[in-house]
Amino acid sequence: MVKILIEVRFHGRGGQGVVTAADLLAVAGFREGYYTLSFPMFGAEKRGTPVVSFLRISDEPIVARDEVYNPDYVVVLDPTVMETVNVVAGLKEGGMLIANYPKGSEDLKKEIRADELKIKVATINATKMTMEILGRPITNTTMVGAFGGATRLVSLETLLEVINEWFRGELAEKNAKLVEEAYRYMMEVCRNED
């Protein structure tokens, strides 16, 4: 039996739900039978400053409790973070950057020299999508859907179940819509790049 340990690092800004994104995916992964662990890295963060959160998903109990230095995936909730933080630092060869980015994947690939790093890049304009549906630039659930669609580590059905338990009423409906649209969009993007 092949043993898996998937490590994910999330980058965003305080107030965008970076910690919640990792937590939502941890709950969804757990529901699908994985062992999961999510945790933030806190310093003097405040609204608007760069924030990092981590997620581990495994088919065996997780003993590592330290930061994720060599992730399989990096998820970027706010494209402006890439101006000051090297978000791809330590990203494994063959790993993937899943980014909220207003331009296409090819533009970001060139900008970060993805070919030299031997990494994959998938982008979604999560800010635009989130503003249209939620009316606020809090992109966490959109990027949860994007991660799900790009990796297929957790099913859309499980993610929607978790969203509907995490949020209530109209907020749950809007976040579920964001997750579903981003999931389906990213599945298509990644299918076209295979």
pLDDT for 4 = 86
pLDDT for 185 = 97
pLDDT for 139 = 96
pLDDT for 47 = 67
Q: Under CATH, to which class is 5-193 assigned?
A: alpha beta
Per-residue pLDDT at 194 exceeds 70: no
Per-residue pLDDT at 181 exceeds 80: yes
Per-residue pLDDT at 1 exceeds 50: no
123-134 burial: b if 16+ Cβ within 10 Å, else e: bbbbbebbeebb
Query: In sequence order, what are the beta bridge partners of 14?
Result: 47
pLDDT digits (tens, 9 = 90+) for 10-66: 999 988 899 999 999 999 999 999 999 999 886 555 667 889 999 999 999 998 888
Question: Other CB atoms closer than 10 Å to residue 58's CB: what's the count?
Answer: 18
